[in-house]
Amino acid sequence: MIEVKWDLLDPEIISRQPTINIGVIGQAGCGKSTFMKAICERAQLERIVTMNLAFANAKIYKCENDECPPPLCYKAYGSGKEDSPLCELVGFQNCRMKLLRHVSFVECPDDLNILMPMLITSVPSIQGVLLLIDANERFPQKQTSDFLAALKAVGLNHIIILQTKVDSIKESIAMDRLEAIKKFIKRRIVGEAPVLSVSAKCKYNIEDVCEYIVKNIPLPQHLVKRPCVSIFRSIDISKPAPEIGETKGVVFCGSLRRVNQMIEIGPGIVDKDENGEIKCTPIYSKIVSLYSEQNELQYAVPAGGLIWIGTTLDPTLTNADSLFGQVLGEVQFLPRLFCKIAVGVQMLEERTKLGRGEIVKLNIHSSSIVARVCQASGEGGIVRLKVKSPVCMMQERFAISRNVENQWRLIAIGYMRGGTTVDGEKIYPPHIRRLGWNL
Ligand SMILES: Nc1nc2c(ncn2[C@@H]2O[C@H](COP(=O)(O)OP(=O)(O)OP(=O)(O)O)[C@@H](O)[C@H]2O)c(=O)[nH]1
Ligand SMILES: [Mg+2]
């Protein structure tokens, strides 16, 4: 894959598409959705029910007059806002504002058993996190420690803490709790994480959050030119009786594609041949439209937000979200399809390991796949897994869960080290070949 430098502040790009993803995390009911709706000026969020995620985009501006006082010189609007609106602050209403960021906020699940695997596979594309704490709840809460531990474990360091719903409690109580949160955070986080009070209902302090996002959360680095994208959702938008020549559309979510580009989707149609061997037939199509929320794009950079990709695919292929979890990319540039994988395993609890024959669940990008441990070695925690259905390995790191009392519990982080492709090719580095396994 070729690494290219995109200018993620290029006005032409951020005018239409987010170039940074920020996770919104917090316990159930702490105000995540309401905060996102307030900062993104949305009545509804875009929900990916299968993954328990919700998305919304916001543009963050700063007044171009240096005398306009912070934080009020910052302002967030919805994704459709013009590029240089007038400042709304009294005394500066003749001044233009400059677009500094176009952010995609991602509301994450509050259940750690779902959140952690999601973070493990998504962290390369999430640059920072807003951690919300409900001002109505006594502090400290166990969940806050758990969330902080989870963020540390996955290496998410750019965190902004928000005490939410401060309009609903007495100011003195809100101040005391804010101090308690600040002390607690200082002990738990190496370095400083900003702690702010907000009210989404009253739109209080949203400007402060905007300033901290611009100053504290860096834009993504290391974007690759030919990335593949995970399909989060596939739907049929064709009318019941399309007229001749009308495009039948199927919409996906992902990144970096351009209109008129030919695409390939893998594993595609998975079937068994006459000998009972698994057979994968990739699906080919063409992009006819790209959207980021309501903004139509000619091309999408591999950096932020959900991108809706309209294609010429036969809509029957996408029934019941059936392409969810598959990988979409440029023709002939999809990652290899594996049926067995060799994995470096980092167990999350000491003195535990994976046993031969054990059934585990892997979360790899948007897909979750069941696998069986077919070989395990004491050396460096390498295991070999046979996946139940072929997997298109587009990233190195993924989550491994074990079934405990009928619930999948995250137990390890897996790192792809090699494997056997569906065509029978064995791609293993020397240190795995030396284990003497029957590969
Ligand atoms: N007073 C007040 N209430 C708020 C504020 N933000 C959210 N709420 C209320 O808190 C409740 C939960 O808000 P949500 O935004 O749905 O919280 P959530 O974290 O998205 O909830 P889940 O997605 O179910 O985990 C709702 O009844 C909101 O009206 C706020 O700033 N002030
Ligand atoms: Mg919510």
Rounded to whole angstroms, the Cα distance separating 264 from 334 reads: 7
Percentage of the chain exceeding pLDDT 70: 92
First to last CA, the chain: 27
Ligand 1 atom at minimum distance from 164 CA: 31
Rounded to whole angstroms, the Cα distance separating 102 from 104 reads: 7
Residue range 20-218, CATH number = 3.40.50.300
- Lowest-pLDDT range, 25-39, 139-153, 232-246? 232-246
* pLDDT at residue 363, as a whole number: 92
Ligand 1 centroid to residue 93 C-alpha, Å: 32
Given this structure, which CATH class describes domain 224-330? mainly beta
Q: What average pLDDT does this structure show over 147-169? A: 93
Ligand 1 atom 13: residue of nearest CA: 31
Determine whether the shortest distance from the Cβ of 182 to ligand 1 is under 6 A: no
Model pTM? 0.92
- Lowest-pLDDT range, 1-5, 132-136, 282-286? 1-5
Q: Which of 24, 34, 162 is the best mutation target for the ligand 1 pocket, counting ligand atoms within 8 Å of the beta carbon and taking the most?
A: 34
Local confidence band at 374 (pLDDT 50, 70, 90 cut-offs)? very high
The pLDDT mean for the chain works out to 88
Peptide bond into 140 cis (omega under 30): yes
Determine whether the shortest distance from the Cβ of 167 to ligand 1 is under 6 A: yes
* pLDDT at residue 401, as a whole number: 94
pLDDT in tens, 301-319: 877 888 888 888 888 887 7
Determine whether the shortest distance from the Cβ of 340 to ligand 1 is under 6 A: no
Name residue 41's amino acid: E
pLDDT in tens, 183-209: 999 888 766 799 999 999 999 999 999
Local confidence band at 376 (pLDDT 50, 70, 90 cut-offs)? confident
Ligand 2 centroid to residue 201 C-alpha, Å: 14
Strands (E), 116-165: 128-134, 159-164
For residue 118, count other CB atoms closer than 10 A to its CB. 21
Ligand 1 atom at minimum distance from 200 CA: 31
Ligand 1 centroid to residue 206 C-alpha, Å: 16
Q: What average pLDDT does this structure show over 242-246? A: 48
Rounded to whole angstroms, the Cα distance separating 51 from 29 reads: 18
Ligand 2 centroid to residue 379 C-alpha, Å: 43
Peptide bond into 124 cis (omega under 30): no
Q: What average pLDDT does this structure show over 106-125? A: 88
Ligand 1 centroid to residue 121 C-alpha, Å: 27
Rounded to whole angstroms, the Cα distance separating 133 from 197 reads: 9
For residue 259, count other CB atoms closer than 10 A to its CB. 16
Residue range 337-433, CATH number = 2.40.30.10
pLDDT at residue 214 is higher than 80: yes
Looking at per-residue confidence, does 375 or 228 come out higher? 375
Q: Output DSSP code: residue 262.
A: E
Question: Same CATH fold, 337-433 and 224-330?
Answer: yes
Q: Output DSSP code: residue 347.
A: E
Q: How buried is 417 (Cβ within 10 angstroms: 0-12 exposed, 13-18 middle, 19+ buried)?
A: buried
Phi (first) and psi of residue 248, to 5 degrees: -90, 125
pLDDT at residue 433 is higher than 80: yes
pLDDT in tens, 350-359: 888 898 999 9
Q: Which of 33, 36, 37, 206 is the best mutation target for the ligand 1 pocket, counting ligand atoms within 8 Å of the beta carbon and taking the most?
A: 33
pLDDT at residue 367 is higher than 90: no
Q: Hunting for tokens 């400290």 — which residue is that?
A: 140
Q: Where are the domains of the chain?
A: 20-218, 224-330, 337-433
pLDDT in tens, 218-227: 998 766 656 6
Percentage of the chain exceeding pLDDT 90: 55
pLDDT in tens, 388-432: 999 988 778 899 999 999 999 999 999 999 999 998 999 998 888
Q: What average pLDDT does this structure show over 122-150? A: 90
* pLDDT at residue 244, as a whole number: 47
* pLDDT at residue 3, as a whole number: 58
Determine whether the shortest distance from the Cβ of 368 to ligand 1 is under 6 A: no
Ligand 1 centroid to residue 43 C-alpha, Å: 14
pLDDT in tens, 167-182: 999 999 999 999 999 9
